[in-house]
Amino acid sequence: MDMALEWLPPSCFRQVLSLSGTLRASLDSPPSWRRRCVALWSGKAHISAQSRTLLQQDDAKAAMRASLEDSRQSGISQEELCNGEWHCRMKRSAGKEWTRNDPWWCSAPARRVRFSPNGELLRPDGDLWKPAEMDGKVMRWRFAWWVPEWSAERHQPAVRRVDPGTRVKIHDFPSALVWRHPLNWGFVLDSPWSLMTSFAMPPRGAVNSTDRQERELARSLRDSRLRHTVQDAPLEVDVYRSGLTVPDVAPAPEHFFARELGGGEVRFFIRVPDDEQEDNAESLHPDGTAETGGESEEELQDGDDGGDGSSDEDEDAEEGEEECEEESEEETASEVSD
């Protein structure tokens, strides 16, 4: 009876405990809580250090509660970000120029990277990890404290502040939204053009895997199932396309604005703090104001997302065809064996 009760989901514990004193004594014992906690954590990609410490202190009930609360948190700490390897791939929206050279899209394991505490993004080089470079510059990461977005009240860019640890910015690319995967509690860095996971990313063909867990995880990471797209960050994407570097410190409203030039063209102006001007000198006027051309809000919402003309629906259709082909092959094999 005790072993059978431990298969109950956590949401049922309170109701069961209220029904019987015998059941309460069985389920509420330290050994029972430990077994349930270990079973719950099985296959999870991330368990917080606090939860592990509580279990080591023989407080399995508190450890289980702490881990469930932590699994619902969306932010990530520097220690958690820099603690292990990350697996990354480009999204279809990045376009064929990026996906054709991406190992994951070529049915190979996803690329691996690490985040260094000193702010560098690292890539494997044999047995070593070395700083990743782009255009001759070392790629760096940082937490974003704000993101640009269009103001709802007026046709002007605005500052939206974000909670600490909920956005990670790599190089000058649009920031990645941090969220926890509901199936394995791992971290996901979801940007408009790329995806990173703190756990091994299922291969591209795993959407048709015979392993149920792998299949469910792979399908949950399809582009169409993700949470942060080009359409979710139109201004941030357009600012990047314009070649404008977004400063780490949020500008005041009078230092971040746009002017319509006609013909659907918009010019952005942003004042960069003095300590960042040297790095962005090529995009600054003598008065410290950056200037660049861009698209209008309507063009951002309705225009090209930088992709190759195919959509997530196309991807799902292709995968559906693959599933049908597999089923057909299985039926054929069955007929032959009969």
pLDDT tens by residue, the chain, 338 residues? 455 555 566 666 666 666 666 666 667 788 889 998 999 999 999 999 999 999 999 999 999 999 999 999 989 999 999 999 999 999 999 999 999 999 999 999 999 999 999 999 999 999 999 999 999 999 999 999 999 998 876 678 999 999 999 999 999 999 999 999 999 999 999 999 999 999 999 999 999 999 999 999 999 999 999 999 999 999 999 889 888 888 899 998 888 888 888 887 878 888 776 655 444 433 333 333 334 333 333 333 333 444 444 454 455 544 544 444 444 334 333 333 34
Burial of 216 per CB tally in 10 Å (0-12, 13-18, 19+)? middle
Q: How far apart (Å, rounded) are the C-alpha atoms in residues 86 and 232? A: 23
Helix ranges, 208-269 (H)? 212-220, 234-241
Q: Who contacts 279 (Cβ-Cβ below 8 Å, separation ≥6)?
A: 245
Q: How far apart (Å, rounded) are the C-alpha atoms in residues 319 and 207? A: 7
Structure tokens at 105: 């899209």
